Structure 1
Amino acid sequence: MKFLKLSKEVNISIAIIAIPLIIAYLLMRPLHEEYIAKGDIAPVSDIGVNGSVHFTYIYSGYIDNYFDKLYVSYLYKDLDFIPLDEEEFIMYTEYDDDMVVDYYKEETISNAVYATSFGDDNDFEERIDDILYYSSEYYGDSLGLMVAIGLIEEVNQLDFSQNGTVTIAGTGTIEYDETVGSIGGVRQKLLTAVDNNVDIFFIPKDEDDYGIYSNEREARRVINEEGLDLNVVPVETLEEAINYLENY
């Protein structure tokens, strides 16, 4: 049997071709994870509410291979990855995500408008449509509490920011009974608040209902682990948030 000895140049050529193929193979291996990244705060005035407070938004999504993870890690800072099992990944990718998100977002904005506005049903529907239109670029329903506080300012001609000297932000849904509902991404939202020098940051008061899985418990853990200097105010209802601001 004869053996073919390849020249140095041929070996180099093979390596040049093989190395990118190997790297591509490794990067395209399946990896199913959800990611949550730090975002920013935005004034409710940006979404058509005449108030001085801010809502907090973050970036989230899913990856299905190592290349996606590398790319997302390049795009965002303060990033958390959460492994998804096969069933969770299928649910994440196959149901109509936009439709579900839009439903919950419309629900929390509707609850905020009905809790704080005055007028007939036509006025309510028009107001809801306006806020939904201006908030179309924002994902999720965790802006509900801050929309409601902004509407309280608008309807009653208030300025809880004390002429812009106090930065107020927060997160949480508004339910039909004006209670504040739990949300996700607590860590990233707290870090976002610190980055923006927030003076008052509202979160849902939910420890009695969810214990170790509550937003309250997670917030305390993050504040301790990260050494954050942030005034976090848990509230159970919209009324509690308003009372806190009126007496601040």
Structure 2
Amino acid sequence: MKNRIDACFEALKAEGRKALVTFVTAGDPDLATTENLVTEMFDSGADLVEIGVPFSDPIAEGGTIQRASLRSLKHNTNLDQIFEMLSRLRDTTDKPILLMMYINTVFRYGTEKFFDNCKKVQIDGVIIPDMPFEERDEVKEYAEKTGVRSIYLVAPTSKERVKMIAEESKGFLYIVSSLGVTGTRSEISTDFDKLLAPLKEGNYCPACIGFGISNGEQAKKMASYCDGCIIGSAIVNIVEKYGKDSIQPVGEFVKSVREALDS
């Protein structure tokens, strides 16, 4: 069976559309709400959804997602509970779902056990922002054996490493828009034409830009450089504001971004 991420990007390319990747933290404010949020985001136009596994020291995250992790951990959210939720989600959606998490969580759970459970509940990809590309062999064997895409990241400082990382990437390449941590930004000043120039020639996997995109206008601008955009903190801000009542406002926000990308 073809990985859902690959099939999704192939379909979007055939339609001449850009991918919308959205993010929520598992267990914020509770797992039942997370489950409903994922369904709502897909219904509202998201093509892929990242689910963040809460972690006590999320070094790549700004205050918004740090607070979401802490709110979730107060309820003792753990990976087994998240896998149970994901199993239920697979009864209702066949769209690509990814986990975003930190390497210590994988190691503590057990790398082989983790990827086996990803396969069992049909997780399509895993993003590990604190795993250096040069240490990818820590998970590569397990990811390839289970068919789970290990999504690699490149940053504005990657420069000559962009092509090297892209050559190894499957699923999609996560382009970090700006230096620093996640969080909405009023302006993104990275020269993406220069950063992504090495990818103009060659048969690489799709690329999506994330970190800092806060509205439909920014999403459309960022997606003009690549195959799609990733929005996280702007959605988590809505969840923080509305809690269990965030389903509708998150859906409305995702719809507004989808409309901007399609306009």
- Write 1 or 2 for the structure with the bigger share of strand: 1
Report the TM-score, using the length of structure 1 for normalisation: 0.24
Report the TM-score, using the length of structure 2 for normalisation: 0.23
Higher relative contact order (CA closer than 8 Å, sequence separation 6+): 2
Larger radius of gyration: 1
